[in-house]
Amino acid sequence: MSTSQSVSIFIVEDNVWYGELLEYKLAQNPDYSIRRFTTAQACLDHLVEKPDIITLDYSLPDGQGDQVLRQIRERLPEVAVIVISGQEDVRTAIGLLRQGAFDYLVKDEETVDRLWNTVSNIRKQLTLTRENNRLREQIGQKFSPERAILGESPQIQQLYGLIDKAARTNITVSLSGETGTGKELVAKAIHFRSERREGAFVAVNVAAIPRELIESELFGHEKGAFTGAVNRRIGRFEEAHKGTLFLDEIADLELNLQAKLLRVLQEREVTRVGGNARIPFDARLMVATHRDLGQEVKEGRFREDLYYRLLGLPIMLPPLRERGQDVLVLAQAFLHEFCEQNHMAACQLSSAAQHKLLQYPFPGNVRELKAVMELAAVLADGDTIQPQDLSLRNGAANGTETSNGITNESLRTQMANIVQSYLDAHNGNILQVAAKLQIGKSTIYRMVQNNEVRLR
84 three-class SS: strand
DSSP conformation letters of 150-200: ---SHHHHHHHHHHHHHHTS---EEEE-STTS-HHHHHHHHHHTSTTTTS-
Return the CATH architecture of domain 321-389. Orthogonal Bundle (1.10)
Question: 68-82, 176-190, 393-407, 418-432: which has the minimum mean pLDDT?
Answer: 393-407
Strongest mean pLDDT among 86-90, 147-151, 213-217, 221-225? 213-217
Cα angle at 367 between 362 and 369, to 5 degrees? 50
pLDDT at position 401:
40
Q: What CA–CA distance (Å, rounded) separates 238 from 278?
A: 11
234 three-class SS: strand
pLDDT of 220 > 70? The answer is: yes
**Of 195, 183, 213, residue with least CA distance to 286:** 183
Average pLDDT over residues 216-230: 85
Q: What CA–CA distance (Å, rounded) separates 315 from 306?
A: 17
Average pLDDT over residues 212-219: 91
- 337 and 375 Cβ atoms separated by less than 8 Å: no
Cα angle at 183 between 389 and 396, to 5 degrees? 40
Beta bridge partners of 315: 175
Tallying the residues shown for the chain, one arrives at: 456
In degrees and rounded to multiples of 5, residue 390 shows phi and psi of -95, 115
Q: What CA–CA distance (Å, rounded) separates 122 from 338?
A: 41
Average pLDDT over residues 59-85: 90
Q: What CA–CA distance (Å, rounded) separates 349 from 400?
A: 32
In CATH terms, the superfamily for domain 7-136 is: Response regulator (3.40.50.2300)
pLDDT of 397 > 70? The answer is: no
Average pLDDT over residues 256-268: 94
pLDDT of 165 > 90? The answer is: yes
CA atoms within 13 A of residue 362's CA, in its CB half-sphere: 30
pLDDT at position 151:
87
Question: 242-251, 294-303, 410-419: which has the minimum mean pLDDT?
Answer: 410-419
- SS3 of the chain: helix, strand, coil, percent, to 5: 50, 15, 35
What spatial distance separates the first Cα and last Cα of the chain, rounded to whole Å? 60
Q: What CA–CA distance (Å, rounded) separates 122 from 101?
A: 12
Average pLDDT over residues 447-453: 79
pLDDT at position 395:
45
Instruction: Count other Cβ atoms within 10 Å, centred on residue 291.
Output: 14
Q: How far from the centroid of its chain's Cα atoms is residue 281's Cα?
A: 19
Q: What CA–CA distance (Å, rounded) separates 10 from 356?
A: 66
Beta bridge partners of 57: 84
Query: Which has more pLDDT, 409 or 396?
Result: 409
Average pLDDT over residues 202-222: 90
The pLDDT > 90 percentage for the chain reads 57
pLDDT in tens, 415-439: 787 888 888 888 888 888 887 777 7
Average pLDDT over residues 270-279: 90
Average pLDDT over residues 40-63: 92
Structural fold of domain 146-316: Rossmann fold (3.40.50)
Q: Rounded to the nearest 10 degrees, how much is the dihedral formed by the CA atoms of 109, 115, 120, 123?
A: -170
In degrees and rounded to multiples of 5, residue 129 shows phi and psi of -65, -45
pLDDT of 264 > 90? The answer is: yes
Using a cut of 0.95, tell me whether the model's pTM lies above it.
no
Average pLDDT over residues 98-126: 90
pLDDT in tens, 352-380: 999 999 999 999 999 999 999 999 999 89
Average pLDDT over residues 52-62: 92
242: left (phi over 0), alpha (psi -120 to 50) or beta: left
Average pLDDT over residues 402-415: 52
pLDDT of 4 > 80? The answer is: no
Q: What CA–CA distance (Å, rounded) separates 105 from 107?
A: 6
pLDDT of 137 > 50? The answer is: yes
Q: What CA–CA distance (Å, rounded) separates 223 from 215?
A: 15
Q: What CA–CA distance (Å, rounded) separates 375 from 338?
A: 10
The pLDDT > 70 percentage for the chain reads 90
Cα-only R_g, the chain = 30
Q: What CA–CA distance (Å, rounded) separates 33 from 23?
A: 10
Query: Which has more pLDDT, 9 or 410?
Result: 9
416 three-class SS: helix
Helix pair 408-425, 441-449: axis angle to 10 deg: 100
pLDDT of 47 > 90? The answer is: yes
